[in-house]
Amino acid sequence: MKKTIHLFRCMMASIVWLLLLSTTARADFPVNKPDGFVTEGEYITLYLVKGQGDKIVDFDPGAGAPAGAQSWYITAKGCPTAPARPCTFPVFTDDTQGLMTINTNTAYTATFSVGVTIGAESAIEQKVKIVVRNTIDIALVLDRSGSMSGNVNGSWPSVVDSSRWKGLITGVGLLAAKLKEFCTDKDSIGYRYFENTVFKPNAPFNGGLVSLPVNALAIQTEVASHNPGSSTALGDGMAAAAEMLKNKDDHSKIMFVFSDGEQNDGDLVRSDSPQVTVGKKNLNDSGRITTYTIGLGNAEGYLNMLEAIAEHQTDRFLTLKTIGANDITKMVEAFDAMVNRIKKESSPQFVDVRRNKYTRDGYVWKFKEKFTVNKGISKVFITLVSSPSYEDGIESLKIDSLDVLPYARQFSGIGFRTLVVDFPISERADIKPEGVWTVVGQQGGYNSATHSSFDGGTAKAPAYYLSFTVDDHLVHLDYSLGDKAKHVGDVVRPSVRLTRAGVDVKNAVVKAVQLAPGVDIGNFLATAGGEYNNPDTTDPGSPSAQKLAELLRDTAIAAKLADKVSEITLTYDGTSGTYTGSFPKLQVSGNYQVLFYVQADDSIVSKIMRYESGNYNVAQKDVDLSQSGVSVVVNGAGQTVITIRPRAGNGLYWGPGWAGSIHVNFPGAKVNNVVDKGDGTYVITIDGKLEGKGTISIGDVKILDGDASQLNCYSNHTNFWEKIKCWLIAHGLPVWLVWVIIAALIILLWLIFKKKK
């Protein structure tokens, strides 16, 4: 009996001890979210800017907390930016009041948990993320050359509202307005024009970098005050931009380059080596610069160069096809997309973009588009561009049935309109961003008769571009088309990663749509024949673009060159956490575009919809000199003149448009001039003799790598003995043995000839 009582007492003591233990460790109340933080999954996140001084944050215990003395503490979790950017974890300067000090002297991302003990009770620890962003300095390099007077599709003469210069004015204006919405108060911007040399803009942009948020909306008006000029000195423009960024070593340096054609003046940009150079200067000598590029074209070598300048990173370049509709919306879309890429850390993302035609509604033109938005959005940014643009605008904006147009901030630039809705809406905290958004737009001032838009008596509808961008710090989309130059015969493997609060979303439907050239554009232009008219400009640009624009006047040719569309569904790979797939082996050269469409149903943020696009430029993989009609002569001035019509081993010509991408690297040899004949033939004039060892390249492909004498093996002017020597060397015989064989042949022929006498 005594043992039973003793056992009972022990059990009761244990129960009491466990109850006391659970009481002291009990976590029954939360930690409140301080002002300025946003909820991102299980974390609350505060975004700060480097250099703004110490930030004091006041944490409070949440509902259900007992009265009594408080003891706050921090438990470090991780530093995702280390070791490149080590973390400085915050501290409680007064752990009895919940006052936390955050250091902003450096840029970093730190994760930790915050808790508080009050007497015998403890709060449920709150996971916290601090993101201290680096200050961003952006230098724009804008093409003001003569070819910018032409139409978007490369044709002449210029048509109202369809010129490349109009597209640049609209695109730069939108880029600046959108950057302003997603920038920090310490970000800076500046820009330079280039034509035959570098030109500074008007004040306040004629000095160095200026405050982006203060001056962004003045950029478009300044750009619109100029007109296209002469030739294309791209290298000089990039060098000037690099100089603007030189003394900002502790900032993130961004160079944004727009060009519409081959460089033909000043110091040339070289992209055939690991480092992009202008003349002989490495652009990154003054510190790391991240370069973004936009170009216009279909198969020209300068597109491959712009891609190389952006290090073949899918999210840092866009090369726009000029085959198709002659309107500026494709240019504007590229500038719109580049903001999302430049400010990726701030999380602007496309839900979708729409390109369509207005429909007639009485005396006006209208459209209606719908977009599905997920939870957790802090900003919606809507862009409208009409072509032509006359009295257009958004007349209705709803989330499901709720009218949110009264709460939108609207801005009208030259050729574009934007609407911004910030969440939470101060006047209507009950309105949430998630749901189906309906956008209704109209255009009332468009007169089809006065704008050459009648076709058989029927008015042609104006076109519109509508993009829907969200600021989402919870959902992230990363995508890639590979990070190297593409050639015929390669296989492209697109990949996408979709995460929510850092966790892979595994149930998404991810589609990749490829728009491939209908034919090999370079070979087509090389063999098409016909004539083209040089435009009335001092910057004729590439014969490739001019010839193509002329040929496209023939509707049968236009149909032949139309894109071939293919679609694949990417599958989730649990090992890499990405959705992957592959397109068929590349068969033709030219400009390819890939559109990504992503949908997912998520238990936390509901339906996720995302859109992105990318490009890659495909070149031939080699040059077969035996098929390339090589001629090497020395002219009366002592210059070496090489004539070549590069042809790949598959029998296809590289075509016109590569003059600016042909490089000669031999001791003492300097390229004086490269003439593009328009049929894929190039005449390369070199100062000095071509001798010794070196390389000749087109794009990133070597035409010749070795001794200069090898080129004579393929020249139309090569004598009989030189051809025998080349034939023997081609079969792997050493040079000394080749000379022995040739000497023996000469002696043998001499003996035969002597015997006949």
Please enumerate in sequence order all residues whose Cβ is within 8 A of that of 38, keeping only pairs 6 or more positions apart, or say none.
Answer: 44, 45, 46, 47, 378, 473
- The reply to whether 202 and 117 lie within a common domain is no
Are both 272 and 318 inside the same structural domain? yes
Q: How far apart are CA 322 and CA 330, in angstroms?
A: 9
Residue 591 domain-assigned (yes or no): no
Residue 164 lies inside a defined structural domain of this protein: yes
Ranges 306-320, 454-468, 504-518: which has the least confidence: 454-468
Q: What angle do CA 659, 296, 390 make, to 5 degrees?
A: 150
Confidence of residue 599 (pLDDT cuts 50, 70, 90): very high
Q: What does the alpha-carbon distance between residue 485 and residue 305 come to, in Å, rounded to a whole number?
A: 10
Distances (CA, A) of 386 to 467, 656, 697: 12, 34, 43
Q: Are residues 302 and 195 in the same domain?
A: yes
- Could you tell me if 736 and 706 lie in one domain? no
| Containing structural domain, residue 419 | 348-472
Domain boundary among 291, 311, 345: 345
Q: Does residue 288 share a domain with residue 171?
A: yes
Q: What is the pTM of this model?
A: 0.85
Separation between Cα atoms, residue 199 and residue 283, nearest integer Å:
19
pLDDT greater than 60 at residue 627: yes
Name the residue with higher pLDDT: 548 or 318.
Answer: 318
84 and 143 inside one domain: no
Q: How many domains does the chain have?
A: 5
Tens-digit pLDDT profile for residues 202-257: 999 999 999 999 999 999 999 999 999 888 888 899 989 988 988 766 788 999 99
pLDDT level of residue 160 (50, 70, 90 thresholds): low
In this structure, is residue 610 part of a structural domain? no
Give the Cα separation of 609 and 350 in Å (integer): 9
Q: N- to C-terminal Cα distance for the chain?
A: 141
- Domain termination site, one of 472, 496, 511: 472
Whether 12 shows a pLDDT value over 70: the answer reads no
Which of 325, 389, 366, 477 minimizes the C-alpha distance to 170?
Answer: 389
- Look at residue 99 and give its three-state secondary structure: strand
Query: How far is it, in rounded angstroms, from Cα 104 to Cα 51?
Result: 6
Stronger pLDDT, 746 or 253, i.e. the higher one? 253
One domain, residues 184 and 310: yes
- Same domain, residue pair 197 and 322: yes
Instruction: Inform me whether the pLDDT recorded for 14 exceeds 60.
Output: no
Of 645, 704, 701, 700, nearest to 669 (Cα)?
704
In angstroms, the CA 562 to CA 195 distance is 32
E strands present in 80-125: 91-94, 99-102, 108-118, 121-123
Domain holding 395: CATH number? 2.60.120.380
- The model's pLDDT over 358-395, given as tens digits with 9 standing for 90+, comes to 999 888 899 999 999 999 899 999 999 998 877 899 99
Domain assignment of residue 352, yes or no: yes
Asked if 114 and 146 sit in the same domain, the reply is no
The pLDDT of residue 345: 74
Is residue 396 scored above 80 in pLDDT?
A: yes
Residue 53 lies in a domain: yes
For the domain that residue 227 is a member of, what is the CATH number? 3.40.50.410
Answer yes or no: is 263 within a domain.
yes
Clarify whether residues 323 and 194 are in a common domain. yes
pLDDT tops 80 at residue 705: yes
Assign residue 89 the CATH number of its domain. Answer: 2.60.40.10
Which residue shows structure tokens 């696009």? Answer: 613
In SS3 terms, 383-431 reads as EEEEECCCCEEEEEEEECCEECHHHCEEEEECCEEEEEEECCCCCCCCC
Boundary residue ending a domain (345, 362, 388): 345
CA-CA distance, 618 to 485, in Å (whole number)? 8
**Residues 650 and 729 both lie in one domain:** no
The SS3 of residue 169 is helix
Rounded to whole angstroms, how far apart are CA atoms 107 and 85?
7
Residue 576, pLDDT above cutoff 50: yes
Rounded CA gap, 626 and 638, in Å? Answer: 26
Alpha helices in 143-270 (DSSP H): 164-182, 212-215, 219-224, 234-245
Q: Is residue 455 part of a domain?
A: yes
One domain, residues 300 and 404: no
* Edge-to-edge order in the sheet of strand 693-698: 662-665, 693-698, 701-707
Residue 555 in any domain: the answer is no
Asked whether residue 431 carries a pLDDT value surpassing 90, the answer given is yes
Residue 213: asked if its preceding bond is cis (omega within 30°), the reply is no
- CATH number for the domain spanning 712: value is 2.60.40
**Which residues are registered as beta bridge partners of 684?**
642, 674
**85-94, 524-533, 578-587, range with greatest mean pLDDT:** 578-587
To the nearest whole percent, how much of the chain has pLDDT over 90? 48
Per the model's pLDDT, the better-predicted residue between 374 and 460 turns out to be 374
pLDDT of residue 565: 95
